[in-house]
Structure 1
Amino acid sequence: MGSPLSELETSMKSMMLVFHKYAGTDENQSKLTLSRNEAKQLLVKELSNFMKTPTDPKAMKDILDKMDIDGNQEMDFQEFIVMVSSITILCNDYLVHCLQKKGK
């Protein structure tokens, strides 16, 4: 048996599991992509603490439109990772801003 997963490996595994937890839950939907409905459910359930208005229909549409990089009305794993990375960068920027403000 291999060594335990590192924190980063555990985070990567979690992202894969979350994506596949929602992918293909809609009837007749590919198990390798998220439909807009599946992506919305993922955002509402998995990122509600990081999003100001996860239930605002216009804000949700804007987010889903931006996440669908190729415009095919589905989100593949690469688009999902870009979205998670973008949100993580914004959260880190906010954290750094707060730490710098606190240090002054």
Structure 2
Amino acid sequence: MSSTEPTTSLENAMQLMIQTFHKYSGNEGDKLTLSRGELKELLTAELGNYLGNAQDKDAVDKVMKDLDANNDGEVDFTEFVILVGALTVACNDFFQDKPEKKE
């Protein structure tokens, strides 16, 4: 990967995903993973509009359980990308199924 600034929208999106993950992963414990608390903070601050009530302890626990593929109690970057990818697919499906407004 080049050290130059991204030039395309997709490169910007990728850089933002990386920066967002590390903004939260470095707050406690392992700097390369999200603890349950870091995940909750990220979900609330960054994905609240798409995930609904990320303040709900059971909802955060379910997301953590679903994402933590290797069952180590933390979410690594790969597991985080799976979440973002799945949400992106769900949003795409939602907006494709939504009827267009006629003017």
State the TM-score, normalizing by the size of structure 1.
Answer: 0.87
Does residue 61 of structure 1 match 2:61?
A: yes
Q: Which residue of 1 aligns with 2:12?
A: 10
Q: Secondary structure at the match of 2:79?
A: helix
Are the aligned partners of 2:68 and 2:79 in contact in 1 as well (CA < 8 Å)? yes
Aligned residues: 100
Task: Indicate the larger mover: 3-12 or 85-94.
Answer: 3-12
State the TM-score, normalizing by the size of structure 2.
Answer: 0.88
Q: Which residue of 2 aligns with 1:49?
A: 49
Tell me the distance in 1 between the aligned counterparts of 2:53 and 2:95.
20
Are the aligned partners of 2:22 and 2:31 in contact in 1 as well (CA < 8 Å)? yes
What are the superposed Cα offsets for residues 9-48 of structure 1, whole Å, 9 maximum, x if unpaired? 000000000001011201xx11111111111110010001
Tell me the distance in 1 between the aligned counterparts of 2:17 and 2:58.
26
Q: Which residue of 2 aligns with 1:35?
A: 35
Q: 1:21 aligns with which of 2, 20, 23?
A: 23
How far apart are 1:102 and its partner, in Å?
A: 2.6
Does residue 70 of structure 1 match 2:67?
A: no
Q: Could you list the structure 1 runs, at least 4 aligned residues long, displaced by more than 6 angstroms after superposition.
A: none
Percent identical across equivalent pairs? 37
Tell me the distance in 2 between the aligned counterparts of 1:72 and 1:79.
11
How far apart are 1:67 and its partner, in Å?
A: 1.1
Q: Secondary structure at the match of 1:49?
A: helix
Tell me the distance in 1 between the aligned counterparts of 2:96 and 2:15.
26
Q: Which residue of 2 aligns with 1:95?
A: 95
